[in-house]
Amino acid sequence: MATHIKPLILHAHTTGPNPIKIAIALEALGIPFTVKLWDFSNDPKTGVKGTTFLKINENGRVPALEDPNTGIISWESGACMNYVRRVYDSANQIGPCGSSGQDLVDFEKWEYFLLTTLGPMTGQVNWFKHYHHQENEDALQRYTAQTYRCYNVLENQLRKSGGTSILPGRVCAVDYHFEPWVRQHSFAGLSLDSYPMIHKWLGLMHAREEVQEAYIKVQAAAGK
Ligand SMILES: N[C@@H](CCC(=O)N[C@@H](CS)C(=O)NCC(=O)O)C(=O)O
């Protein structure tokens, strides 16, 4: 633990997958942080759409990350992750697995694939499965198929490492981006039965200390 570092403040939600990615990265790097939980309402004091939180993130979503050591506030999990990497990962513990131009692009392409495609498609499945005001089977099927398409892409990629990491070589921030989304597959009504590599990778991720500690910390903030 880096004791000279003042704890960062991770703004999060009890179950939302995006903040957990950042908690995992901070745990991996041994950076101290506290968790402040918000709900999805517009309550001025407790909600991500309320006046207090909108001063931190005008987009009204978590994660947001406040760093009292630098005075910098980031939001969007990709920006938070890259901030953490730039400022606190000088030894490149969680960044690209090599230093070639291809290694850097490989890191970014898988990070962006999660941020722009697998994450949002899964989010839409969740929306149409659990929250939309009326049943919309067409939309649910469309987003379910798109998410399975992403799982196919991920499954093929994981074959390269035998299911141990998304980028062959070692676990990195890319795995941290994917873990919370894939972990929630059953909430989205999705099955990993046809995805042995994803299944294996998820089991290995669950067993990692930084992953377990991140979930413990967010749940502790919720008093669970
Ligand atoms: N693209 C953003 C998405 C952030 C996001 O959607 N966060 C969810 C929780 S995981 C949220 O705050 N939802 C509140 C809402 O939908 O109103 C990221 O990667 O951080």
What is the average per-residue pLDDT within 65-71?
98
- As to burial, measured by CB atoms within 10 angstroms (0-12 exposed, 13-18 middle, 19+ buried), residue 146 is middle
List, for residues 171-201, the tens digit of each pLDDT value.
999 999 999 999 999 999 999 999 999 999 9
Measured from the Cα of 18, ligand 1's closest atom is 10
pLDDT at 1 over 60: no
pLDDT for 224 equals 73
What is the average per-residue pLDDT within 114-135?
97
What is the average per-residue pLDDT within 65-80?
98
List, for residues 8-34, the tens digit of each pLDDT value.
999 999 999 999 999 999 999 999 999
What is the average per-residue pLDDT within 202-219?
98
CA–CA–CA angle 124, 122, 14 (5° rounding): 95
- State which of 15, 62, 65, 113 you would mutate to test the pocket of ligand 1, scoring each by most atoms of that ligand within 8 A of its C-beta: 62
DSSP sequence for the chain: --TTSPPEEEEE-SS-HHHHHHHHHHHHHT--EEEEE-BSS--TTTBTTSHHHHHH-TT--S-EEEETTTTEEEESHHHHHHHHHHHH-TT-SSS-SSSSHHHHHHHHHHHHHIIIIIHHHHHHHHIIIII-SS--HHHHHHHHHHHHHHHHHHHHHHHTTTSS-SSTTS--HHHHHHHHHHHGGGTTT---TT-HHHHHHHHHHHHSHHHHHHHHHHHHHTT-
List domains and CATH numbers for the chain: 8-94+210-221 (3.40.30.10), 101-208 (1.20.1050.10)
Q: Verify whether ligand 1 is closer than 6 Å to residue 126 (CB atom).
A: no
pTM of the model: 0.97
